[in-house]
């Protein structure tokens, strides 16, 4: 299938992807895949039918809107990721008695940013949503995923939890 914005649409390792890739100087890995639609349906089955032309047009508008405000989104990601670190991880990683390792001394957004620089992929799952998945160096098993809806962070969790 071919689309005027997305180019070639084909089934890939995590759903349908296109010729368009995402990159931003904040993230180390550049040109990551952009997936279009969800990977699995509500029954947990892999989706094997590509998005319709109409959905692809809606995905285009959502993605372009996301890119138009990328600096704000990156700031939101940095802030929310640091808040999550403080809430879920700091009690362990900042306490040598608990971790058995020296404290990481992550006491600012800037210091925490080094742990969220590896993006895995970006997904446009719905008409007004974007999911951005990060290999989180603090918790590589679960990672970090941000779900944006209508331009705002709507959920943060491990990968596939939002």
Q: Which of 154, 160, 112, 157 is nearest to 137 (CA)?
A: 112
| Predicted local distance difference test score (pLDDT) of residue 42 | 81
Write out pLDDT tens, residues 12-33.
888 999 999 999 999 986 799 9
Q: How many CB atoms lie within 10 A of CB 7?
A: 12
Contact, 82 vs 76, CB < 8 A?
no
State the number of CA atoms in the 13 A half-sphere of 143 facing the CB.
16
> Does residue 160 surpass a pLDDT of 80?
no
The pTM score is 0.90
Give the span between the Cα atoms of 14 and 25, in whole angstroms: 24
């Amino acid at each position: 299938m071919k689309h005027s914005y997305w180019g070639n649409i084909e089934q890939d390792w995590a759903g349908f992807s296109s010729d368009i890739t995402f990159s931003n100087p904040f993230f180390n890995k550049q040109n990551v895949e952009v997936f279009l639609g969800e990977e699995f349906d509500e029954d947990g089955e892999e989706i094997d039918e590509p998005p319709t032309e109409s959905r692809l047009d809606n995905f285009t508008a959502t993605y372009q809107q996301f890119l138009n405000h990328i600096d704000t989104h990156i700031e939101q990601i940095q802030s929310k990721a640091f808040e999550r670190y403080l809430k879920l991880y700091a009690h362990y990683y900042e306490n040598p008695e608990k971790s058995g390792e020296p404290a990481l001394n992550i006491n600012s957004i800037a210091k925490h940013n080094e742990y969220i620089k590896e993006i895995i992929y970006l997904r446009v799952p719905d008409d007004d949503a974007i999911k951005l998945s990060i290999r989180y160096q603090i918790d590589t098993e679960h990672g970090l995923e941000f779900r944006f809806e209508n331009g705002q962070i709507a959920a943060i969790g491990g990968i596939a939890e939002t």
